[in-house]
Amino acid sequence: MILLLVFACVTAPTASAGETVAAWNPTGVEWQRFRALAQADREHIYARLVELCDGAGHRLAGSPGQKRAEAIGAAWLKADGLKVTLDPVKVPVWVRGEASLAVTGPRAEPLRVLALGGSVATPDAGIEAPIVVIRDFTELSAAVNGKIVLYNHPMLPGTPSIDHYGDAVAYRGGGASKAAAFGAVAVLVRSVTTRSLHTLHTGALGYDEAQPKIPAAAITVEDAERLSRLAGAGEVRVKLRLTPHTEPDADAVNVIGELRGTGRPEEIVVIGGHLDSWDVGQGAADDGAGIVESVEALRLVAKAGAPKRTIRVVLFANEENGLRGGKAYFAAHGSERHVAAVESDIGGGAPQGFGTTASEAQQAWLTPMLAGSGLFTRPDGGGADISPLTHDGVLAIGLLPDDSHYFDVHHTDADTVDKIDPAALADSTGALAALLWQLANAPDAPVKAGVRGD
């Protein structure tokens, strides 16, 4: 509260010619100010996350939960005094159906299993075959022909965890088609996590259209290790049955709230996360936290005074299985003058830094804003939903929170609101607000970079 009293006296900055970016944030004052404001509103911020998680439930694209979430998000933005727009987005509809997996030999026993998002179904009677355990793609060979491949590739521990995600998730994302190329009839994938309590992690796979589409499902780390031990002692047969199906695309919306700029309204700063989630758990960390942080950051900025540039919060309709939200936003708004796009999609932990994709001029514009924040920036950042903007040359900034427990719950039924610490959620909200404030008020923003390679 002491901080609040002090910083309430700081006059909201307004644009003036010739001013430097650094002058917008002397000694990090904006970071302290907005992070204190966010902590003061901690209960409100957390209550919105609870409302989204409990009120909507999971929010898989095309599900009733997604529609409930759209209504909740739109109501927030309206209550916060923003101009609300619902941009139509066609989203994929993948329905999980049933799943079962059992070892049938040497000794019959059921196993936990969870289909990967987008997987095709097995025949209704299931697929029974011996397993071949693979730790690395390089081990794939003709030996998997007619077999079920088990990818037992571990996610390595380390900080930040996100740096170790890509290596492991390659097996979930691309493993089915790579195994199909060698004649495998299905794949099982070790859940992508460093900590497991017999926990199943789903997530999207992508099929290579040149290969047969074979069913794919996650098993737990524990079972992956155990089946590996078992297979080391002789043939292990399993029977997998999955009944997912895909329906025609459904109608959804990008929920957009806009605070129109007072000085340069045609210049736009976007912030957002994705409203959809997987169909397990509540999507609290992925990406309820990013949604709430984005909404609340803009609310705090609006409360602090009208910014020079326009700020839009976008609750992207669909990221998990199609990126339709980000693509639709870009199709509708890509030609507008975006000076920066910010995303939060690595959980609700306390802020540690920002990953940026920036030209030299963009980074030079951004860097002074972070002075005194205690947060780092590093290259190659952004976010999936803003990736079409990033590709088009817009300055992209992705929040890097403490993600040391994010992947424990990522894409699992354990991704529930109780895992989110209200203080950490508020702190990231405050950091995003401080960033937004400066992006929206700083002097002349550089032009966007050229179109970037993927």
Q: How far is the CB of 109 from a second copy (least distance, A)?
A: 7
Residue 177 or 220 having the CB closest to a second copy:
220
* CB neighbours of residue 187 within 10 Å: 31
| 108 belongs to the binding site for a second copy (CB under 8 A) | no
**CA dist., res. 22 & res. 183, Å (int):** 59
**CA dist., res. 291 & res. 52, Å (int):** 9
**CA dist., res. 173 & res. 56, Å (int):** 27
Q: 332, 442 in Cβ contact below 8 A?
A: no
3-state SS assignment for residue 119 = coil
| 230 belongs to the binding site for a second copy (CB under 8 A) | yes
**Candidate list 30, 70, 258, 319, residue with the active-site label:** 319
Q: Is 319 a catalytic residue?
A: yes
Residues 417-436 that bind a second copy (CB under 8 A): 417-418
Whose tokens are 């758990």? That residue is 281
* DSSP 8-class letter at 403: -
**CA dist., res. 401 & res. 381, Å (int):** 12
**CA dist., res. 277 & res. 346, Å (int):** 13
Residues 308-367 that bind a second copy (CB under 8 A): none
Q: How far is the CB of 412 from a second copy (least distance, A)?
A: 7
**CA dist., res. 383 & res. 397, Å (int):** 8
Please choose, out of 147-155, 367-375, 406-414, 431-439, the segment that lies near a second copy by the rule CB under 8 A. Answer: 406-414
| 234 belongs to the binding site for a second copy (CB under 8 A) | no
**CA dist., res. 425 & res. 223, Å (int):** 34
Residue from 19, 128, 139, 222 touching a second copy (CB under 8 A): that is 222
| 289 belongs to the binding site for a second copy (CB under 8 A) | no
| 135 belongs to the binding site for a second copy (CB under 8 A) | no
Pairing of strands 376-379, 337-343: unpaired
Residue 176 or 284 having the CB closest to a second copy:
284
Residue from 218, 275, 414, 433 touching a second copy (CB under 8 A): that is 414
Please choose, out of 24-32, 156-164, 262-270, 415-423, the segment that lies near a second copy by the rule CB under 8 A. Answer: 415-423
DSSP codes joined into one string, 219-255: E-HHHHHHHHHHHTTS--EEEEEE--EEEEEEEEEEE
* DSSP 8-class letter at 443: S
Site size toward a second copy, by CB under 8 A: 26
Q: 30, 12 in Cβ contact below 8 A?
A: no
Residue 43 or 54 having the CB closest to a second copy:
54
Residue from 19, 249, 413, 444 touching a second copy (CB under 8 A): that is 413
**CA dist., res. 344 & res. 399, Å (int):** 5
Q: How far is the CB of 366 from a second copy (least distance, A)?
A: 37
**CA dist., res. 353 & res. 419, Å (int):** 21
| 50 belongs to the binding site for a second copy (CB under 8 A) | yes
Residue from 262, 359, 367, 416 touching a second copy (CB under 8 A): that is 416
Residue 223 or 343 having the CB closest to a second copy:
223
Please choose, out of 193-201, 246-254, 345-353, 368-376, the segment that lies near a second copy by the rule CB under 8 A. Answer: 193-201
**CA dist., res. 126 & res. 110, Å (int):** 14
Please choose, out of 33-41, 50-58, 331-339, 357-365, the segment that lies near a second copy by the rule CB under 8 A. Answer: 50-58
Q: How far is the CB of 418 from a second copy (least distance, A)?
A: 5
Q: How far is the CB of 107 from a second copy (least distance, A)?
A: 7
Residue 198 or 245 having the CB closest to a second copy:
198
Whose tokens are 């509103």? That residue is 41
Residue 6 or 197 having the CB closest to a second copy:
197
| Side chain identity at residue 166, one-letter code | G
| 174, 218, 309 from 236: Cα distances, Å | 24, 17, 62
**CA dist., res. 106 & res. 109, Å (int):** 9
Please choose, out of 2-10, 34-42, 77-85, 217-225, the segment that lies near a second copy by the rule CB under 8 A. Answer: 217-225
Q: How far is the CB of 70 from a second copy (least distance, A)?
A: 16
* DSSP 8-class letter at 447: P
Give the pair of three-digit tokens for residue 168.
Answer: 């492991």
| 107 belongs to the binding site for a second copy (CB under 8 A) | yes
| 69 belongs to the binding site for a second copy (CB under 8 A) | no
| 109 belongs to the binding site for a second copy (CB under 8 A) | yes
**Nearest CA-CA partner of 197 in 222, 219, 172:** 222
Give the pair of three-digit tokens for residue 421.
Answer: 């610490």
Q: How far is the CB of 448 from a second copy (least distance, A)?
A: 42
Residue 99 or 140 having the CB closest to a second copy:
99
Q: Which residues bind a second copy (CB under 8 A)?
A: 50, 54, 57, 107, 109, 112, 195-199, 221-222, 225-226, 229-230, 281, 408-409, 412-414, 416-418
Known catalytic residues?
319
